[in-house]
Structure 1
Amino acid sequence: MAADATAQKLRRRTLAWIVGIAMAGLMFDGYDLVVYGTVVSTFLRDPAQIGPVDPALAGALGSYALLGVLVGALIAGSIGDRIGRRRMMIAAYAWFSLGMLFTALAHSAAMFGILRFTTGLGVGALLATTAAMVSEYAPPGRRNLYNAVTYAGVPLGSLAAAGIAILLAEHIGWRGMFAIGALPLITLLPLAILRMPESVMWLVSHGRVEEARAIAARTGVALPDQEPAPRRSETEATGYRGLFGEFLIPAVLIGLVSATGLLLVYSLNTWLPELMMRSGFDARGSLSFLLVLNGGAVLGPMFAARFADRMGPRPVVAASFIVGALAILALTLALPLWLLLCVVALVGVGTSGTQTLIYGLAANYFPTRMRGAGVAWCAGFGRLGGVGGPLIGGFLIGAGLSITKIFMVLGALALLGAVLAICVPRRA
């Protein structure tokens, strides 16, 4: 009995470290998501920064980081199931921190875009691995909840970016805003090296049972049941081969769901301040909408994840998309400020909050031998939508569409996401 209590205490401590480190890493992903949106108006209005920037170029610059995330996630998916979760996450922390630091030194739009792409490689590798690591340490029946807690780091980081921009941007400039994103290099990276263990599940699935047993004893995590040695054909069905061999239809659908969600996330986080400025709010007031948007994204998934653990994440993802669609359409109405802020919070629940649930869906849908590839596909292919987010916002604004029509387009995309989520086949 005492041994069981000790093991439970060790497991709780281990899980707290893993979730804490992973959440902190994703906070910087969320910071990276929003920091460009906080400075894009400066680029549009001041050619002395990185040269002349029009809405089309601004949208393209916002998309370069997302192309990097796409490439980084897909590369991580191809090797993450082979080299392990821990190594991939540590490398990602170092990579994107250096990318943010060098971005702060850019002096041209071309260099800025190249460095944004480079930074995105590290962010993509992190996104492709975090959900797999957390799911493999979280207790059964609470994996969606722990993923929601972890991925709350994304909107928390977005909140931090918006808050720092409101308080400090005029003092530290856009270069200071990007330099802040390099802090993990001296804070999070050393902590991860010291305190983050390798996934016991991953070690067992690769036949490294003795290493898994040692880590299980040190962390209090139960050693998974060892299955009979798989046949050669089953051994080969790992990573992307297993994903697109055994799970082709759900993988494609989950990728499309993620792409739809990220299109909404990145279009709103990039262009919402500019849209609100065009609606009559000043620069500081328009940035406050980013705070409210991402505040809703923090709280909503915590509530929804409990239902996802009971009912499965598919219907909860669909319902969250519908909430987002209705809230976006409500932005077309003439609302008093207090009600407008409430609606923007619901938009955050139905966009960034929905994306948190989508990562949980991917992490818990696929088995261990292809879980890293499944999450990488969700994060990587989904970034095609993320790439389109800044571009579609720049295109719609550049085409002269009214703000009402722009929000109607985004609301229709949220409804499409709900339909795609319902179409994902059910799986125990």
Structure 2
Amino acid sequence: MSSSPSLSARGGRLALLVVGLCWLAVLFDGLDMFIYGSVLPHLLENKTFGLTPDRAGDLGSYATFGMLVGALTAGTVADRVGRKKLMVGCVVLFSLASALCAVSGGIAVFGLGRTLAGVGLGGLLPTAISMVSDYAPRGRGALVIGTLMTAHHAGGILSAYVAKWLVEPVGWRAAFWVCVLPLLFAPVLARSLPESLSFLVAKGRTEEAGALAERYDVELPAAKGAKQGAADRWNALLNLFRGGEWSQTLLYWLASFGGLLLVYGVATWLPTLMRGEGYALGSALSFVVVFNLGGIVGMLVAGRAADRFGAPRISALWFALTAVGVYLLSVHMPMGVTMVVVFLTGVFLNSAQVMIYATVSLRSTPDNRATAVGWTSGMGRFGAVFGPWLGGQLLASGHGDLGFTAFALAGVSSMVLIGVAALRGPRRGATGSSDPELLTAH
């Protein structure tokens, strides 16, 4: 018994190593995701590759389309090769894709690089969340996952500094070469990260899983029953439309579409739109830093607020406040006031979408919850593809000043849709908004 505290402390340190490695991987994920938006004002001003705003919007959508593909295929690939190998593969893929962008001589090769990067980015985040869920200390799963999600926004902050320090003196290609550096991290990840306990248990490698669980002093995941067949999955999807549920399901899907349109539209175009409002490039990139700092705070406080006041109520309120903040960005205000507005917009915008998943989870039956949240997330990712494209089309048509207004209207629509859906649907579940699975869908 005397060795128990020592084992627990040692297991805690090892678990911290796993979380730390995954946090760094997601940090690089965020850097690669946000770097395009950070260098975009420079690309447009210098007409790199003859880039126009509408083509820039298309390029922004390539990465989010790749993320859609990566997210949809990650589970299947992970079940075959393991979550550790998939994480390493994703880091290698988006690093090499950034190298392709850095050496590209035309818009076609650059677009291919952004698409491949998106595939890696889309596959990494849910896999990393699964990994830290397995190795999180007992009773700390939601806290650890919330902490992991802050890495994505920390990567956004890093992307702004990379652009500020390198783009003007060295050139935009240098920023993408920085995004290749995670390639050096891949061998460290392959050597030091243990395999997912859930994967080992699912593959029947229970002795290996038990040894790892004891070494890291974490709970061994329970073995799941037989996997759902295609008929079972199809029936679970149909249940979302039976018995009058179709209207509520569509409302959630549309709300998620508007939410991710807003998230990725603003993430792609914020520096460019702020430049259009008359701010210098350095100030526009500073807004990216402040916006992502708000995102970190929002991820840490949204769950607590929803637990206290209810996920549907917080979801609708968060989108309303996001819409106000985004619209105010179209008004040229004193720098200090603008910084506060950007920060608060980041707080609400980056966690409002998670509150949609919390609401869907709360209003779903336990046996259909995973399907409901997963499909709500999947439909929302089409909004992630549409958002960057929409910003480019507005700028190309000479209506860039309407960009913030269009994104604000997306926030209003999601507020209305999630509110109506919550009013129509009965409260069935008992899950809270801090459920770790909700964050995987972001």
Is TM more than 0.5 here? yes
Query: Which secondary structure state, in structure 1, belongs to the residue aligned with residue 77 of structure 2?
Result: helix
The more displaced of 111-120 and 2-11 is 2-11
Equivalences for residues 332-351 of structure 1 within 5 A: 332-333=330-331, 335-351=333-349
Query: Which secondary structure state, in structure 2, belongs to the residue aligned with residue 172 of structure 1?
Result: coil
In the alignment, which residue of structure 2 is the partner of 1:289? 287
1:91 deviation in Å? 1.3
Equivalent of 1:65 in 63, 66, 71: 63
The more displaced of 299-308 and 83-92 is 299-308
In the alignment, which residue of structure 1 is the partner of 2:403? 406
Q: Is 1:156 equivalent to 2:154 in the alignment?
A: yes
Structure 1 residues 367 and 129: CA distance shift in structure 2, 3 A:
farther
What do the CA deviations read for 1:29-50 (whole angstroms, capped 9, x no partner)? 2212221112222322324x3x
What do the CA deviations read for 1:316-375 (whole angstroms, capped 9, x no partner)? 44443333123223334453221111011111112234456678889999999997x988
Letter matched to residue 279 of structure 1? E
In the alignment, which residue of structure 2 is the partner of 1:325? 323
1:199 deviation in Å? 2.6
1:244 deviation in Å? 3.4
Letter matched to residue 184 of structure 1? P
In the alignment, which residue of structure 2 is the partner of 1:215? 212
What do the CA deviations read for 1:164-202 (whole angstroms, capped 9, x no partner)? 211221122111100111111112x12221222223234
Query: Which secondary structure state, in structure 1, belongs to the residue aligned with residue 22 of structure 2?
Result: helix
Query: Which secondary structure state, in structure 1, belongs to the residue aligned with residue 278 of structure 2?
Result: coil
In the alignment, which residue of structure 2 is the partner of 1:33? 33
Letter matched to residue 44 of structure 2? L
The more displaced of 416-425 and 289-298 is 416-425
Equivalences for residues 25-424 of structure 1 within 5 A: 25-47=25-47, 49=48, 51-139=49-137, 142-187=140-185, 189-225=186-222, 230=225, 235-236=228-229, 244=237, 257-307=255-305, 315-333=313-331, 335-355=333-353, 381-401=379-399, 403=401, 405-421=402-418, 423=421
TM-score (norm 1): 0.84
In the alignment, which residue of structure 2 is the partner of 1:14? 14
Structure 1 residues 330 and 41: CA distance shift in structure 2, 3 A:
closer
1:150 deviation in Å? 0.5
1:257 deviation in Å? 5.0
1:262, 1:386 within 8 Å by CA — same for their partners in 2?
yes
1:132, 1:375 within 8 Å by CA — same for their partners in 2?
no
What do the CA deviations read for 1:207-254 (whole angstroms, capped 9, x no partner)? 432222121122111224557xx4x5x653799668636778798777
Distance between the aligned counterparts of 1:16 and 1:217, measured in 2? 15
1:239, 1:370 within 8 Å by CA — same for their partners in 2?
no
Unaligned runs of 5+ in 2: 432-442
The more displaced of 240-249 and 348-357 is 240-249
What do the CA deviations read for 1:287-332 (whole angstroms, capped 9, x no partner)? 2211211121122211223445677766544443333123223334
1:74 deviation in Å? 1.0
TM-score (norm 2): 0.82
The more displaced of 107-116 and 33-42 is 33-42
Unaligned runs of 5+ in 1: none
Distance between the aligned counterparts of 1:85 and 1:253, measured in 2? 33
Distance between the aligned counterparts of 2:372 and 2:410, measured in 1? 23
Letter matched to residue 38 of structure 1? S
Structure 1 residues 239 and 76: CA distance shift in structure 2, 3 A:
farther
1:70, 1:382 within 8 Å by CA — same for their partners in 2?
no
Query: Which secondary structure state, in structure 1, belongs to the residue aligned with residue 194 of structure 2?
Result: coil
Percent identity among equivalent residues? 35
1:278 deviation in Å? 1.8
Highest RCO, 1 vs 2 (Cα 8 Å, sep ≥ 6): 1
Distance between the aligned counterparts of 1:135 and 1:253, measured in 2? 30
In the alignment, which residue of structure 1 is the partner of 2:438? none
The more displaced of 5-14 and 271-280 is 5-14
Distance between the aligned counterparts of 1:94 and 1:243, measured in 2? 35
1:125 deviation in Å? 1.0
Structure 1 residues 126 and 366: CA distance shift in structure 2, 3 A:
farther
Distance between the aligned counterparts of 1:3 and 1:131, measured in 2? 31
Structure 1 residues 218 and 378: CA distance shift in structure 2, 3 A:
farther
2:134, 2:198 within 8 Å by CA — same for their partners in 1?
yes
Letter matched to residue 282 of structure 1? A
Distance between the aligned counterparts of 1:393 and 1:415, measured in 2? 17
1:73, 1:128 within 8 Å by CA — same for their partners in 2?
yes
Structure 1 residues 75 and 109: CA distance shift in structure 2, 3 A:
same
The more displaced of 374-383 and 96-105 is 374-383
Structure 1 residues 291 and 393: CA distance shift in structure 2, 3 A:
same
What do the CA deviations read for 1:49-72 (whole angstroms, capped 9, x no partner)? 3x2111111111111111111112
1:3 deviation in Å? 4.7
